[in-house]
Amino acid sequence: MKILTSMMVVALAVAPASLRAQQKLDEKRSAARDGVVEIENAAGSIRVIGWNRAEVTVTGTLGPGAEGLEISGGSHRTQISVETNRNPHGINSDLEIHVPAGSRIEINSFAATIAVSDVTGAVTAEGVNSSISVAGGSKEVSAQTVNGTVDVSGATGRIHAESVNGTVTVKGGSGSVEASTTNGRLSVAGGTFERVGLETVSGSIRFEGDVTKDASIEAQTVSGNVDLVLPASISADFSVTTFSGDIQSDFGGTARRPNKHTSQKELEFTTGDGDGKVDVQTLSGTIVIKKRP
C-alpha cells in the first residue's frame, strides 16, 4: 500500500510538468498565394495542406524540450521552425500547416513523417529517417529520404523521388519522372510520360503508363525483375539486356545470347517508326514487356 501511495504522489507531481511540456500551437500569418514556405522540424510529423486562403496557419503540439515555434519572414517567404534547447532529434513535435495552394514548399527533417496534399506549387521534401508522401496536382516534386518510403501521387510535371532504404511509388502522375532506390521496390504508374528514368540496386521495377511519341524510358536494376506495361501503339527502339534471367516481350522478337560462354541475353527490336527509346538492363532478374490491354 505504501508503494502504491508513493507512486500516486509521484504521478500527481509529474503530471503538471508533462502538461506544460506539451505546448499547443495556433499561429496564423498572411501569405502570398504564390510565395515560399520553408519548414523545419527535426522529429515527429509534418502535415502540409493547401487551401484557397492567402494565409499560413500552424496548429499541433511541440514536444517536451522544444523552446517554441519560430515563424519569420514576410508574405512572400514564410519560415517555420521548431526551436529546441537540446538535441532536436529526440524532440517529437507534430505540426499541421495550411498554406495557399500555389505556394512553393520546402521541408527539411531528420525523423519526421512528412505528408503534403493539395499543393499545386513546387514541393521539395528531404528527410533522413522519414517517410514522405506528396498527393495532389503539383507541377514539380522532389522527395528524398535515406530510410523510409516515398509516395508521390497526382503530380503532373517534373517528379524526382528517391530513397536509399525504402519503397518508392509514383502513381497517377505524368510528365517527367526520375525515381530510384538502393534497397526496395520501385513502381511508377499513371498518365502520359515523356521521360522516365528508373533505377534500383536491390529491388524490382514496374512501370505502367502512356508515353509521348518521342518518349525515353530507361530502367536499370542490379538484382530484381523489371516489368513494363506499355501502350500497343508505342513507337520506339528497344534495347533489353539481362545477365542472369529471362526476357519476355509481347511486342515480338527473340532474345539471343551474344556470348555462348555467359548467360547474358539481349533483345533488340523496333516498333512503329522508332521515335522513342526504351532501354532496360538488369544483372540478375527477369524482364517482362507487356502490351497494355
Tell me, yes or no, whether 58 lies in a domain.
yes
| Contact between 194 and 218 (Cβ < 8 Å) | no
Identify whether 13 is part of a domain. Answer: no
Integer Cα distance of 115 and 112 in angstroms? 10
**Residue at 231 is within a domain:** no
Phi-psi region of 45 (alpha: psi -120 to 50; beta: other; left: phi over 0): beta
- How many domains are contained in the chain? 1
Domain contains 262: no
- Residues 154-167: tens digit of each pLDDT: 999 999 999 999 99
pLDDT of 242 higher than 60:
yes
Is 276 within a domain? no
Give 13 or 244, the one with higher predicted confidence: 244
pLDDT confidence of residue 215: 97
Q: Is residue 107 part of a domain?
A: yes
pLDDT value of residue 172: 93
Per-residue pLDDT tens for 167-215? 999 999 999 999 999 999 999 999 899 999 999 999 999 999 999 999 9
Q: Could you tell me the residue range of the domain that residue 95 belongs to?
A: 19-116
What pTM was computed for the model? 0.89
Closest to 27 (Cα-Cα) out of 92, 88, 72 = 72
Q: Is residue 160 part of a domain?
A: no
Q: How many residues does the chain have?
A: 293
Residue 36 near residue 76 (C-beta atoms within 8 A): yes
Q: Is residue 116 a contact partner of residue 74, using CB atoms and an 8 Å limit?
A: no
Q: What is the mean pLDDT of residues 271-284?
A: 96
Structural domain includes residue 197 = no
Residue 207 β-bridge partners: 188, 228
Give the per-residue pLDDT at 261.
64
